[in-house]
Amino acid sequence: MDTPKTRVVIAGGGTAGWLAAALLTRQLGKLVDVTLVESEEIGTVGVGEATIPTIRAFHALIGLDERDFVRATGATFKLGIAFENWTRPGSRYIHSFGDVGKSTWMGDFQHFWLAARQDGSASPIDAYCYEAQAAEAGRFAIGGDAQVNYAYHFDAGRYARYLRERCEASGLKRIEGRIARVEQDGESGEIVALELASAERVAGDLFIDCTGFRALLIGETLGIGYEDWSHWLPSNRALAVQTRSTGPALPYTRAIAHQAGWQWRIPLQHRMGNGIVYSADYLSDDAAQALLLGSVEGETLVEPRLIRFATGRRMRAWEKNCVALSLASGFVEPLESTSIHLVMTALTRLVQLFPFGGSTPAISARFNAMARHELEDVRDFIVMHYHLNARDEPFWRACREMQIPDTLKARIALFEEDAHAYQGADELFRVSSWLQVMLGQGVTPARFHAVARLMPPAQLAGALGDLAKGIAGQVRRLPAHQAFVDRYVSAT
């Protein structure tokens, strides 16, 4: 006897909704019946155009062909983020996706680099990272001998449409309509159905809330509160605008600090994505728009779009038979391009913990604990960028002087005192990420592990010199990023 399929109803489309539809239909298609409800009347935030390398593994799970995806979404390749003016005006460093140097089991690479720097024989830290050097040179390639850790820049609107076309072609049911009411069971409080403005009723067993900041299901209906993190992440506004490209696409995102926040520049095949993130307590909307439009390069293609947000997290992302994704579950701001990654990891957890026998407190508790730990890790990493600065404007002084989470305080102290960095279990950011940002933001460790002194200074200098020379040689053999993209999308 066949077991009835679990009815999954996704409330809302956009990137989150269609990623959910893509994974569930691809991986659990024989076990679930998926329906997506969205309204063309309701817009999506849809400005997230930068990603991190984990997206490639998720694309494999949903069966995307990379070349087809790059063509369909106007994508370019991303090796990291250039942080400009963050420590102070004129400062610059790259947080790349690559590993920095070579480590031993007794001590990570930074200890050896710090010893060599003390001896006067070390190059800048990014000389020992292939991805950082390729980014600086504007070069990129995949395939053959080019082993590189990369992600993408792409058009979020095109991405959602691309996912939708694939899902609908595979038989997914999409219902156009605005949700007018959420029907709950009188005894359990679980969601039973969505009632649309057309009076159509969409019943389900599991509901996925992709309704954005409104959080119609998890927040408005089930009453799950929001933990505000604005005392750590004070930016609460963003303006986004698209411009014509004025030159070759670089293989990295630019994050440029300004007096009360930062600006992004994200190169696509067909245009440049631009935006400004800021705190309304320190910069008015009009001043932010003037700053943004006064700094973009190329003709603007649309009017700037204002997005208001509050950083933080939903107290529980899974409540009863409802799972919240993306903005409905929390928002940490786009600085390290983690928004789409967080959707993808949440969906991976959902598949692994899928409640085929109905939602239980144990399953939801496990999901919520994992989601909270993951988001707090991302939060700490982003807070660090703001806190470690030497700028002199009121916004930046407040960030430098604020009380930070104890978890982050301990990490910074560990690096400041003894040059140790770590990646905890199930944490996103690797040792190389913490290393690049803490050094880039001006932290100078007081000491380093004495294991680095077991190697004679001349031998250490020679080893580091050979490593940097080898990386430089590899990078010189790479084509220009723009030339690679042009060939990649035109190939048959």
In a domain, 87, yes or no: no
3-state helix, strand, coil in the chain (%, to 5): 40, 20, 40
Q: Which domain holds residue 298?
A: 237-308
Torsion sign over Cα 254, 301, 52, 69: negative
- pLDDT in 10s for each residue of the chain, 492 residues: 467 899 999 999 999 999 999 999 999 999 999 999 998 876 555 555 899 999 999 999 999 999 999 999 999 999 999 999 999 999 999 999 999 999 998 999 999 999 999 999 999 999 999 999 999 999 999 987 668 999 999 999 999 999 999 999 988 999 999 999 999 999 999 999 999 999 999 999 999 999 999 999 999 999 999 999 999 999 999 999 999 999 999 999 999 999 999 999 999 999 999 999 999 999 999 999 999 999 999 999 999 999 999 999 999 999 999 999 999 999 999 999 999 999 999 999 999 999 999 999 999 999 999 999 999 999 999 999 999 999 999 999 999 999 999 999 999 999 999 999 999 888 999 999 999 999 999 999 999 999 999 999 999 999 999 999 999 999 999 999 999 999 999 986
In a domain, 273, yes or no: yes
In a domain, 131, yes or no: yes
Residues in CB range of 3: below 8 A, 6 or more apart: 31
β partners of residue 318? 323
Q: Are residues 172 and 217 in the same domain?
A: yes
Report helix, strand or coil for 294.
helix
Give the phi and the psi of residue 101 in degrees, each rounded to 5. Answer: 65, -160
- Could you say which DSSP state residue 419 is in? -
The Cα 77–Cα 83 span in angstroms is 18
Q: Are residues 391 and 467 in the same domain?
A: yes
The Cα 383–Cα 388 span in angstroms is 9
The Cα 16–Cα 374 span in angstroms is 17
Judged on CB neighbours under 10 Å (0-12, 13-18, 19+), 22 is buried
Q: Are residues 120 and 264 in the same domain?
A: no
Q: Are residues 124 and 244 in the same domain?
A: no
- Could you say which DSSP state residue 123 is in? P
Q: How many domains does the chain have?
A: 3
CA 73, 49, 239 angle in degrees (round to 5)?
130
Residues marked as catalytic: 78
* Tokens linked to 149: 């850790």
Quote the pLDDT of residue 44: 54
Q: Which helix (H) or strand (E) holds 238?
A: strand 237-243
Q: Are residues 341 and 398 in the same domain?
A: no
In a domain, 81, yes or no: no
Question: Which residue, among 152, 130, 147, has the nearest Cα to 58 in the 3D structure?
Answer: 152
The Cα 257–Cα 270 span in angstroms is 25
